[in-house]
Structure 1
Amino acid sequence: MKINVKDSIAERLMKTGAAVGPTSQSSGPLAKLMTTSRSSSTNTASTESSDASDDDVSSGPVVSSMSSPPELEEEKVEWQRQHHPAVVDVPAGQKNLVHAVIDGPLVIIGLGSIGRGVLPLIERHIRLTDRDSFIVIEPSDEFAHILKRHGIRHLRKALTPENYEATLRSLFPTKKSDAGGGGVGGENGMIVNVSVNVDSVAVMSLAQKLGVLYVDTVIEPWPGVYFGSKLSNAERSNYALRENMREAGRKYRGGTTAVSGCGANPGMISWLMKEALLRLARDTGVDLSSSNPVTREDWARLAMTLGVKGVHVAERDTQVSSRPKPPGVFVNTWSVDGLLCEGYQPAELGWGTHERRLPRTGHRHVFGPGHGIWMDRPGGDTRVRSWVPGVGPQLGLLITHNESLSIADYYTVREEEVGTTSPNGGGGRVVYRLTCHYAYHPCNDCILSLYETNGSGVLPVKKHILTAEEIVSGNDDLGVLLYGHARGAMWYGSRLSIDETRRLVPYQNATGLQVTSAILAAMVWAIENPRVGFVEADEMDHVRCLQIQRPYLGSVECHYTDWTPLRDRINSFSEEEDRDESDPWQFTNFLTR
């Protein structure tokens, strides 16, 4: 039967929640390359995999939890053929899994690349008992047609310090439990904050009063902190923002769950960190049969036992557009505003106990637990040597990220002393902490955009986020590079291609899907654990979260390498003054000048 597919059909499919592509495995040379074990004298890899039944969570989403009416089935298949040529049919015997139910309102703040991308995942995997209470707050109407297509209410408003409380209160008019107590699961509703310039702690605290669940991807302040601020660089740091969040969270212990900083990184990367430690323990013969890590202290002692000196959040984005970047336009694969904000904060990292000296522009904080340092230079113009699979050695940007601080804080071992406490739950003198920082190589268009912005000294006016339709090839490889242990260095993470992303979901590229699938996992975990107060990804059940997210991560791989930051240097100029030949894993060996 030949069907003339029109926009109205696509709209009808979207309104019924019909999936636009199955979660079949990638095909072709790239997919075969990604799922084949690698080995060489300097690099060995293995791909994590498991057998999955039709009902197993690891089998990918194929049909929406809101199934299509029978009369639309043929139209759906034809629509998929025309809009996603790689998809010829919906594989038999597979289905989406509804992971959780929200009985109250669901309010999403922001409809940028991440806000748009998370919509189909919510529709596939979370059942809303009151569809009319699904609301997106977004001041722009640029993508209002998407909300109309999905039948989602659009509140066109910018949240400000003056109006956010009244606005959000009006959307959660009734509570099924006392304020601050939280309902069972999602019965009081949920706020998902994927915006910029909306203060995370303010909204998290209001969510406690309303008794609604909360998830965000970053600790965001109100406007005026990142640019044009009279605050010192230390006060503009993520360390300061995180300490403010942690302090606020102490008021709400046992309150409604509020997940802070849970996208790809921060977020997923903390769950992969735990899998990586377990893999390293297995591969180095550390017996965990009688001492499987459970608590924060257990995980920190495991990292210390394994001899892990530090971890890079090592990322390489190789996605390429079909069009060259025009001069004067800042191009990225995710939020340009988000990248600019963190790129012009001071470079930051979690500071390990093995480090011998601060970098030349490094400073310790004079408040809080002291697990991080900041540098008197912007992260978007600070480079570190790192390593990722496929590419090998690379220079990454030392952009500040919350996980750099939360991971260092989480993997801290203290010598217990009677009568003393620490912010991470232990007491006494620090005897072990690992170093942690971001080492990010964004897409080539973004690198050029940063170069232009740094050169001009003026923030860009024209901004563009690459869509899945524009990108012709490439991956986002995002993982943890654990170093300093018995095997040297190990990268463990997600390698997701744009081709597979297009088969899985609409509205996003590979970078976005790693973020939005983590948001989905955080939403489900919050519904299942509704009374833990403020929480970070490190403190969540990594097994459950990755069980939800893994179908969207492409190939999850483990790579060992004998690379160190002292290898294969071209020059011997003044930066060599900072070399430490006695320990290749000193931070000063990673940092370039």
Structure 2
Amino acid sequence: MAARFENRVLVLGAGSVSQCVLPLLIEHLVDAKQITIVDMRDNKPRMADAIAKGATYIQDQLTQENMDQFLSKYLSAGDFLLDLAWNIDANAIIGWAHDHGVIYLNTSIEEWDPYAAGATRNPTERTLYWRHMKLRKLTDTWGGKGPTAIVEHGANPGLVSHLTKKALVDIASKALKEGKAAKDVEDALVSENFAALSQKLNVKVIHIAERDTQISDKPKLVNEFVNTWSVEGFYEEGIAPAELGWGTHEKTLPQNAYEHPSGPKNQICIAQPGAKTWVRSWVPNMETTGMVIRHGEAFTISDHLTVWDNQKAIYRPTVHYAYCPTDAAVASMHELEMRQWNLTENQRIMNEEIIDGDDRLGVLLMGHAYKSWWTGSLLNIHDSRKLIPKQSATTVQVASAVYAAVAWAMANPNAGYRVPDQLPWQEVLAYAEKYWGGYHSEAANWDPLMHRNDLFKGWNNRKYDEADPWQFSNFLV
């Protein structure tokens, strides 16, 4: 149980995640009277329960011009800024929080205008890698000191970084018990050297593998974008370049791939929308095809699992998202493409109309002694509503992961700048476990060439690397 936080809390944004996380904050961490919620829209009805308990709701908009004046109204040293809004520049707001002694947490690294320059902008400059490099340039000057500032800590990015460590521990523990691992695996396990552990286990590829099967009794309309979380967020990610951590075992760059000229160079991007880049993947107990949507965990996990030797990366797994959203969201994204990527104003986040389904969200580690291993949540809509009334499986997973990181940050207010991979994984997982329906962790006898049915094999010039199933080219649809 986390200690109660005594200072003020400002929540930016009143969307689906904000609506779901507030009951958790009020139950576990703060009195509602300490909370101020600000959104540019009148979303008071969404926040009725929190407001009834004493939270304050203000309709206002933070802009590039009014940031200091705006934030200074609600926050001072020791207070907490929970940033669940979009299109607020991460460097600007995190820099402000650092300079004013305010604890900070967000779920994504944003820019003021992510669509600036459009198609004329170099694909590498449209990536999260680019944003991380800008943020590092700022935070490196802090020397690890100052108020805690955690970036990209929802479900994914966020909790999946800790699930990756759990999966590595589970694989190693089973392999050692069954005599399938050497002493160096035990050494890396005991010391929690996760990069070495991943290397010694021979992990080649990590998918953040998600299949959302939630369905509603309200069909998607023509010219309507339907999703189980932020439509604007999915849109921005979906039209951005596909982005992935690039493993040292990979032999050939995909078509239209771009490498980064500076930094750790642990990622590549592909000059096509992530929403149009599909790969084969697996969740319990089904094969899927998922979108290689850009996500921050592809950067941080691949970065933290890199083994260096004299400034050369000698080991790194390929890491990326493989996202299969709801049928309604898949249809919405297809319709978006037909609209030449112009987002409709008719948008809906599925929630109370959901009648069945689950959100299978976890990490799929591949290449080791057990072939594949999936660790994550199998939360369904019926259980999610028992945990937090009126909420979907998706929002419960995200909001509880936000709560877990907030709880850690409140208990550790002077930890400086952190990405999820720099937090104590077991402690953070423990906060969220109940709300994820426990953590499912099991081996899976699967690789991307198994059961693959190429209807025109031999006629379409498609090349498969039968000798190494873990090549990215074998996953591409």
Q: 1:299 corresponds to which residue?
A: 194
Deviation at residue 290 of structure 1 after TM alignment: 5.5
Matched, 1:136 2:37: yes
Note the residue ranges of structure 1 that are not aligned, 5 or more in a row: 1-96, 176-187, 418-427
Q: 1:43 corresponds to which residue?
A: none
Matched, 1:115 2:37: no
**Cα contact 1:100–1:127 (8 A) shared by 2:** no
Matched, 1:234 2:121: no
The Cα offsets for residues 188-241 of structure 1, whole Å up to 9 and x where unpaired, read as 110001111112221111111110111110111112437847532210111101
Match of 2:27 among 111, 117, 124: 124
Percentage identity across paired residues of the two chains? 36
Q: How many residues align?
A: 465
Amino acid across the alignment from 2:16: S
Partners of 2:451 and 2:415 lie apart in 1 by: 48
**Cα contact 1:225–1:231 (8 A) shared by 2:** no
Q: 1:163 corresponds to which residue?
A: 66
Q: 1:435 corresponds to which residue?
A: 318
Matched, 1:572 2:462: no
Match of 2:344 among 456, 460, 479: 460
Q: 2:175 corresponds to which residue?
A: 284
**Cα contact 1:226–1:236 (8 A) shared by 2:** no
Amino acid across the alignment from 2:283: V
**Cα contact 2:167–2:375 (8 A) shared by 1:** yes
Cα distance change, pair 587–575 in 1 and its aligned pair in 2 (3 A)? farther
Partners of 2:222 and 2:150 lie apart in 1 by: 39
Deviation at residue 291 of structure 1 after TM alignment: 5.0
> Following superposition of structure 1 onto structure 2, how do residues 248-397 of structure 1 map, counting pairs within 5 Å?
248-252=138-142, 253-285=144-176, 286=181, 291-294=188-191, 298-390=193-285, 392-397=286-291
Partners of 1:192 and 1:229 lie apart in 2 by: 32
**Cα contact 1:217–1:519 (8 A) shared by 2:** yes
Q: 2:298 corresponds to which residue?
A: 404
The Cα offsets for residues 60-92 of structure 1, whole Å up to 9 and x where unpaired, read as xxxxxxxxxxxxxxxxxxxxxxxxxxxxxxxxx
Amino acid across the alignment from 2:41: S
So what's the TM-score if we normalise by structure 2?
0.94
Partners of 2:194 and 2:294 lie apart in 1 by: 24
Partners of 1:398 and 1:576 lie apart in 2 by: 23
Deviation at residue 101 of structure 1 after TM alignment: 2.3
Cα distance change, pair 241–290 in 1 and its aligned pair in 2 (3 A)? closer
Deviation at residue 293 of structure 1 after TM alignment: 4.8
Q: Secondary structure at the match of 1:430?
A: strand
> Following superposition of structure 1 onto structure 2, how do residues 203-218 of structure 1 map, counting pairs within 5 Å?
203-218=93-108
> Following superposition of structure 1 onto structure 2, how do residues 495-510 of structure 1 map, counting pairs within 5 Å?
495-510=378-393
Partners of 1:528 and 1:101 lie apart in 2 by: 9
**Cα contact 2:14–2:43 (8 A) shared by 1:** no
Partners of 2:233 and 2:62 lie apart in 1 by: 17
Matched, 1:557 2:423: no
Amino acid across the alignment from 1:261: E
Partners of 1:211 and 1:350 lie apart in 2 by: 33
Task: Choose 108-117 or 239-248, whichever is displaced more.
Answer: 239-248
**Cα contact 1:116–1:507 (8 A) shared by 2:** no
Task: Choose 197-206 or 312-321, whichever is displaced more.
Answer: 197-206
Amino acid across the alignment from 1:351: W
Cα distance change, pair 310–487 in 1 and its aligned pair in 2 (3 A)? same
**Cα contact 2:139–2:417 (8 A) shared by 1:** yes
Partners of 1:534 and 1:461 lie apart in 2 by: 36
Deviation at residue 158 of structure 1 after TM alignment: 1.4
Larger radius of gyration: 1
Amino acid across the alignment from 1:398: V
The Cα offsets for residues 531-587 of structure 1, whole Å up to 9 and x where unpaired, read as 221101111001100111101001421232222111222223566533111100000
The Cα offsets for residues 372-413 of structure 1, whole Å up to 9 and x where unpaired, read as 0000100011100101113x2111001000001111000000
**Cα contact 1:330–1:336 (8 A) shared by 2:** yes
Matched, 1:149 2:52: yes
The structure in which a higher percent of residues are helix is: 2
Note the residue ranges of structure 2 that are not aligned, 5 or more in a row: none
Partners of 1:266 and 1:435 lie apart in 2 by: 16
Task: Choose 342-351 or 143-152, whichever is displaced more.
Answer: 143-152
> Following superposition of structure 1 onto structure 2, how do residues 422-571 of structure 1 map, counting pairs within 5 Å?
428-457=311-340, 458-467=342-351, 469-570=352-453, 571=455
Q: 1:179 corresponds to which residue?
A: none
Amino acid across the alignment from 2:196: R
Partners of 1:591 and 1:532 lie apart in 2 by: 40
Partners of 2:94 and 2:416 lie apart in 1 by: 10
**Cα contact 1:397–1:438 (8 A) shared by 2:** yes
Partners of 1:396 and 1:405 lie apart in 2 by: 18
Deviation at residue 368 of structure 1 after TM alignment: 1.6
RMSD: 1.7
Amino acid across the alignment from 1:488: K
The Cα offsets for residues 263-289 of structure 1, whole Å up to 9 and x where unpaired, read as 000101001101100000011114666
Cα distance change, pair 229–156 in 1 and its aligned pair in 2 (3 A)? farther
Partners of 1:575 and 1:123 lie apart in 2 by: 58
Deviation at residue 143 of structure 1 after TM alignment: 3.1
Q: Secondary structure at the match of 1:522?
A: helix
Q: Secondary structure at the match of 2:299?
A: helix
The Cα offsets for residues 427-466 of structure 1, whole Å up to 9 and x where unpaired, read as x211101110000000110000001111121212110000
Task: Choose 567-576 or 302-311, whichever is displaced more.
Answer: 567-576
Partners of 1:291 and 1:308 lie apart in 2 by: 14
Partners of 1:344 and 1:227 lie apart in 2 by: 14
Deviation at residue 154 of structure 1 after TM alignment: 1.4
Partners of 1:575 and 1:293 lie apart in 2 by: 49
Amino acid across the alignment from 1:255: G
Amino acid across the alignment from 1:328: N
Q: Secondary structure at the match of 1:578?
A: coil
**Cα contact 2:361–2:378 (8 A) shared by 1:** yes
Q: Secondary structure at the match of 1:355?
A: coil
Partners of 2:187 and 2:250 lie apart in 1 by: 32
Deviation at residue 120 of structure 1 after TM alignment: 0.2
**Cα contact 1:413–1:433 (8 A) shared by 2:** yes
